[in-house]
Structure 1
Amino acid sequence: MSFDPDLSDPYLARAAALREIFARDAAARDREGGRPTEQIRLLKDSGLLKLLIPREHGGHGAPWSTALRIVREFAKVDGSLGHLFGYHFGSVHGAHLLGSPEQAADLYRRSAAGNWFWGNARNSFSKTLFGRRDGAWITVNGFKPFTSGSHVADHLMIAWLDEETRDWVFAPVPADRPGVIVENDWDAIGQRQTGSGRVTFADLRVHAGEVLDTGFDRGRPYRSLGVLQQQSTLLNVFVGSAQGALLAARDYTTTASRPWIHSGVEKHTDDPWVKRTYGDLVIRTQAATALADRALEAIDAAFARGRDLTEAERGEAAVAVAAANAHAGAVALEVTSTVFEVMGARASAAAYGFDRFWRNVRTHTLHNPAEYKIRNVGTWFLTGAYPEPGTFQ
């Protein structure tokens, strides 16, 4: 199994070309953090931000698997850009999964016409943002943490709790609307350019007509597919990071690593220990890739069913994504750490930035504990019960 993308797909070919550009300064940008402004501009120029928007609304109408494979490609060199690209589509499709068909069509058209990049401010764990209805307007105050992409977004998909009913309310708003304050205060050890810090909302005014109609098709299984898309983004960041770390380590090992003094070989790549270690890591990464590819098929099939998706079909997709996610995270943590053992001490120099692969994966896995996904897979295997639709499953 090769880690190369299918370049016969024009969108993957475009993404591979961008990946090479992103690779040039990925380590430096990781050290600096902040905003990947130029990289977002390149994404806009590429047309890939419209990838999943239906053709009738100005997009390319590609399947989810294509976007998620692109997440994987970007993560080979830059986990932050892979993360941002995948989360962009979660917000683009927010109206489709949470609103009415008319709202979805309108948002698709406007996003495609404006070539918008979307950020996220709808963390469902955080009950720190509230809205008060006053006639045709809602005034929103509070904050949201983990607002990935907010620092470079044209539009945000936001969620707040109604002060009276305590129901969740969702709406898309321009990122530069008065009352939206992007703090850009993300300071984690990894994913340093994702802008996943806090957005504060100070008397933000949202018109009732902007609010998504969550009553449409309420309870249908397809309404809960957003979380599977999010989890699929994360698992493909894991897979791409493992692949990228292996490829970068191989390049370093074959050109710069020196044999250990007691190895008895003249070339580091002739050391049986080095060969076996790489072989083990490659096999594990191939297995993670195969599970991820199976999950891509499940996601495509679920989204293709649309309103006709059954609970069982949704459950099968959830199990496939959970299994792939848990395995990919564990493999990526192992690969991104172990490669240092076969590269050697000099590979730990900050200038190379090889540590970014591990830091990115470690940061994501902490927000996305594998334990509960593994339990869900075990429960399904023992009882046939599917994971209950909800946050992270």
Structure 2
Amino acid sequence: MSFDLDVTHPYFAKAVALREAFARDAVDRDKAGGKPLEQLRLLKESGLLTILIPREYGGAGEPWSTALKIGREFAKVDGSLGHLFGYHFSSVHAAFLRGTPEQAADIYRRSAAGNWFWGNTANSFSKSLFGRRDGDGYVLNGFRPFTSGSHVADYLQIAWEDHTTNERSFAAIPTSREGLRIEDDWDGIGQRQTGSGRVTYTDVRVHRDEVFAFKADQVKPYQTLTPFQQQSVLLNVFVGSAQGALLAARDYTRDKSRPWVHSGVEKHIDDPWIKRVYGDLYTRTLAATQLADQAAQALDDAWARGRDLTEAERGNAAIKIAAANVFAGQVALDVTSQIFEVMGARSATTANGFDRFWRNVRIHTLHNPAEYKTRNVGHWFLTGDHPEPATFQ
């Protein structure tokens, strides 16, 4: 197995072609940071931004697993694009999870017709954006940090706290809205083109029909699927990064690495040490890939249940996604670090850009601690109790 997508699938064929295009300047773009505008143009031309929108609203009606595997393919060369592509779909579906059926239908139709790319400013922990009622809408002031995709988005999923009650509200607004300033100030060590910096709000008006009809005290199981979407995107970026790093390292080892002076072999790939390390890294990456596929199927199954999703069904999916996330993150960290040991000292130059794989994974795994997901899985295994729905589980 070489981690290849099935190119007989029309959307996977497009993904492979795009991945090859993204690879041409991935190292230079990682160094530059900023906006992947040309890559976004290619994504829009490909039609891939609408594939998860139901057919009746102008999309392709594909399952979540299709988008996750495409994001994984992009992450083989560029973790930022895998991240942005996956998070786009989480925001597209926000109206379905938090709004009325009429709001969801309207968002789906307009997004498909406009071929919109979505970002978000709905950071869960930041209590830094507040709204006050004004007529039949709200006026927002403050900021949100960690706003992935905002710097290139057409539309944003947003969240704020009421400045009197502290109650959280959600909405969708265009990035052209007056008073909205996208700082594009992300300076992380990795994921350098995700635009995950600050967005500032100065008297930004949100109209009543843009606010989702979400009540925190009336949440149904299907409305708690947002963490599954986000965690699934994360774990597939981990897997794609591990796959891409391993394949790139293999090519370098075959073509450029020199045998160690005391190895007793003429070719680096003939060294038993090198064979063992690659065998171990491949096996673990393959296992992470299989777990990722199982988790993607779990999300597909939960999503397909729609508003009929039960708490038990939700809980079963939570365990599969958590286990896959933890394992994928650890494997990706190990693979993206250990490849340098078997490629050799000359591989560790900025010109090669192999360090981007580790930097992307390292910063992405910090999104939430693996420790707590591992504990959730262990608690379930010992007691049979599923984790309570929460921001990251």
TM-score by length of 2: 0.99
Deviation of the 1:2 alpha carbon: 3.2
Q: Does 1:104 align with 2:104?
A: yes
Amino acid at match of 1:269: I
- Give, in whole Å, the separation in 1 of the partners of 2:212 and 2:9: 34
In structure 1, the gaps of 5 or more residues are none
Number of corresponding residues: 393
* Distance 1:274-1:357 versus aligned 2 partners, 3 A rule: same
- Give, in whole Å, the separation in 2 of the partners of 1:217 and 1:82: 34
Question: Who is 1:78 aligned against?
Answer: 78
Deviations 1:322-349 (A, max 9, x none): 0000000000000000000000111011
Deviation of the 1:217 alpha carbon: 10
- Give, in whole Å, the separation in 1 of the partners of 2:33 and 2:257: 29
Question: Who is 2:218 aligned against?
Answer: 218
Question: Who is 1:260 aligned against?
Answer: 260
Q: Does 1:118 align with 2:118?
A: yes
- Give, in whole Å, the separation in 2 of the partners of 1:193 and 1:125: 22
Deviation of the 1:216 alpha carbon: 10
SS in 1 for 2:218: coil
Root-mean-square deviation (CA, aligned residues, Å) is 1.0
SS in 1 for 2:125: coil
Amino acid at match of 1:300: D
Deviations 1:18-41 (A, max 9, x none): 000000000100000000011011
Deviation of the 1:161 alpha carbon: 0.5
- Give, in whole Å, the separation in 2 of the partners of 1:367 and 1:297: 23
Question: Who is 1:6 aligned against?
Answer: 6
- Give, in whole Å, the separation in 1 of the partners of 2:187 and 2:344: 29
More off after superposition, 158-167 vs 272-281: 158-167
SS in 2 for 1:302: helix
SS in 2 for 1:317: helix
Deviation of the 1:280 alpha carbon: 0.3
- Give, in whole Å, the separation in 1 of the partners of 2:2 and 2:184: 38
Question: Who is 2:208 aligned against?
Answer: 208
TM-score by length of 1: 0.99
Q: Which structure 2 residues correspond to residues 352-371 of structure 1 after superposition, within 5 A?
A: 352-371=352-371
SS in 2 for 1:213: coil
- Give, in whole Å, the separation in 2 of the partners of 1:379 and 1:2: 35
SS in 2 for 1:142: strand
Question: Who is 2:326 aligned against?
Answer: 326
Deviations 1:239-271 (A, max 9, x none): 000000000001101111111111111111111
Q: Which structure 2 residues correspond to residues 121-132 of structure 1 after superposition, within 5 A?
A: 121-132=121-132
- Give, in whole Å, the separation in 2 of the partners of 1:329 and 1:144: 26
Question: Who is 1:59 aligned against?
Answer: 59
Deviations 1:213-240 (A, max 9, x none): 1149932100000110000000000000
- Give, in whole Å, the separation in 2 of the partners of 1:217 and 1:78: 40
SS in 1 for 2:357: helix
SS in 2 for 1:381: helix
Question: Who is 1:87 aligned against?
Answer: 87
SS in 2 for 1:229: helix
* Distance 1:117-1:217 versus aligned 2 partners, 3 A rule: farther
